[in-house]
Structure 1
Amino acid sequence: MELNGTSAVVTGGASGLGEATARVLAAAGAHVVIADLNEELGKQVAEEIGGQFAKTNVTDEGDAAAAIAAAEGSGHPLRVVVNCAGIGYAARTVNRDGSPHDLASFAKVIAVNLTGTFNVLRLAASAMAKTEPADADGQRGVIINTSSVAGIEGQTGQIAYSASKGGIIGMTVPAARDLSVIGVRVNTICPGVIFTPIYKSIAGGGKEADEFLARLAAPVVFPKRLGRADEFGQLVRSLVENDYMNAEVIRFDGGIRFQPK
């Protein structure tokens, strides 16, 4: 898929993996719609890359539809959607004090990470179906979802997060099969430990921060460090531009395999 002259929607595009992806796609010539709840950061990124901002709660049908419509109205055909929006939550199924996992928190993580991804996916695919084919194969678009290695081998206290990310993995193949009739490819990336603003805020600064990041990187096989958000963006671009990549779940983790804790 040729990116130059197309439009793309990146959910969670105001920071982290989404921001890095938006910048990579824009550099390749795509008009990018930043779909995010963070209006201040979202508008800033959109301005810097020459794109648009759409305030978006991915669980809301109207918000998601408006973000897709913004891309459609840009004057460029909608060809790419990257789902990066997501939240985390840590709690055991039964806590140390014997209390059960909070159900509302579990439901919220599922709603944002899994249902939100599907909400955007279905609306984006419907919009892509209305475009003219981009090539002789009849290709109309590419949708890339963001899961996690936690969706494959979740750790203690990740029951909600792992369930949501595992669900994204589970819908990759059926979505690709469903959307083959309209020429839309679907792939899912499973990042490992990536150095995003979340880890920056946790780590803080100084020697303790260095030690914290070193512990996170210890299980990584090679290279012996945390992944970078721009490397994630590069992988997204590769998957978009390689027309034979479809219905795949790709680990992006430096070879890490999570232990129970």
Structure 2
Amino acid sequence: MDTNKVSLVTGASKGLGLTLVKKLLTAGYKVAATSRDLNTLTSEAGDRSEQFLPLETTLTDDGSVAHAISTIVNTFGTIDVVVNNAGYGQLGTLEELSDDEARKNFEVNVFGSLNVIRNVMPYFRKNKSGAFFNISSIAGFLGTFPGWGVYNATKFAVAGFTEALSAEVKSLGITATVVYLGYFKTNFLLKGSLRLAEKSIAEYKEARELETIHQEQIPGNQPGDPEKAASVLIQVAESDQRPLHLFLGTDALNMAKNKIETLKEQLTANEQLSKSTDFV
């Protein structure tokens, strides 16, 4: 494994991001990590060193991101791997969430990653190499989770722009992978990583039931091991054949397979209707 590679991990002060940073550092890689709170990041991952560069960065501010990227390159000389991990969950039905709540979720989960990609690409293009890992969710492939519509939309967006990015950079020696996470035992469902709608409407029975499940039953019982997920990400980053789509967790894999089967059934059932719209 080429431990001279420089990795950038966003949203690195907790959850999978923090686990990945620690594992990369232990393996001897050079790591740059961003967080909105530098003190929290350094208290969790360690102080700045020859191997580690913690950065306080506002991902929704393109200027802040540009400064972070230039600092990384000036410090380590290059960037080889980017893990766009920063994001948060937003609960609330489409009616309940305000325009401000919805836009804030998109600002972090979508536009934050786009800011990173835009500022990293000049260096990747110059090096004619590089790997992006954009962290989505099984909710970015399967959207039938009541009360998660806006969050789902942000993660579908991550999948969509990653697919486009992979095609745009193919001839440049750069890869892009969308990572669909299942339920991993991190703090994602805890306060600070999961926000509730400011306005709640009791009539949304299914959404309220799923909200309760995510607050009271799932936390602490997630089947996924973040240590193993981090190891897989490192393994794939070192591979010469990086996939465009990577599902992590048996739960995510099974939900994806079930959706694919449903799609196949509906494609077959409606094939004649689909074809009937062509000019004859």
Q: TM-score range by the shorter chain?
A: 0.7 to 0.9
Q: Matched residues in 2 for 1:9 and 1:181: separation?
A: 23
The TM-score normalised by the length of structure 1 is: 0.80
Aligned 1:1-261 pairs, distance under 5 A? 2-44=1-43, 45-47=45-47, 50-95=51-96, 101-131=97-127, 140-154=129-143, 155-199=145-189, 215-216=217-218, 225-246=222-243, 248-256=244-252, 257=255
Q: Provide the alpha-carbon RMSD of the alignment.
A: 2.7
Q: Is the 8 A contact 1:80 1:143 kept in 2?
A: yes
- Higher gyration radius (CA): 2
CA distance 1:199–1:162, shift in 2 (3 Å) = closer
CA distance 1:38–1:226, shift in 2 (3 Å) = farther
Alpha-carbon displacement from aligned partner over 1:19-53 (angstroms, at most 9, x marks no partner)? 11112222333211111102112123142884011
Q: Which stretch shifts more, 29-38 or 143-152? A: 29-38
Q: Matched residues in 2 for 1:164 and 1:200: separation?
A: 19
Structure 1: stretches of 5+ with no match in the other structure? 96-100, 134-139, 203-210, 218-223
Q: Matched residues in 2 for 1:25 and 1:243: separation?
A: 19
Letter paired with 1:73? N
Q: Give the SS at the match of 2:75.
A: coil
Structure 1 equivalent of residue 272 of structure 2: none
Letter paired with 1:147? S
Q: Give the SS at the match of 2:3.
A: coil
Q: Is the 8 A contact 2:36 2:57 kept in 1?
A: yes
Q: Give the SS at the match of 1:63.
A: helix
What is the identity percentage for the equivalent residue pairs of Structure 1 and Structure 2?
A: 22
Alpha-carbon displacement from aligned partner over 1:124-153 (angstroms, at most 9, x marks no partner)? 12222223x5xxxxxx11110000011122
**Number of aligned pairs?**
232
CA distance 1:6–1:74, shift in 2 (3 Å) = farther
The TM-score normalised by the length of structure 2 is: 0.75
Structure 2: stretches of 5+ with no match in the other structure? 193-212, 259-280
Alpha-carbon displacement from aligned partner over 1:208-252 (angstroms, at most 9, x marks no partner)? xxx9899439xxxxxx95212212211211220111114x12111
Determine which structure has the larger helix proportion and give its number. 2
Q: Is the 8 A contact 1:87 1:109 kept in 2?
A: yes
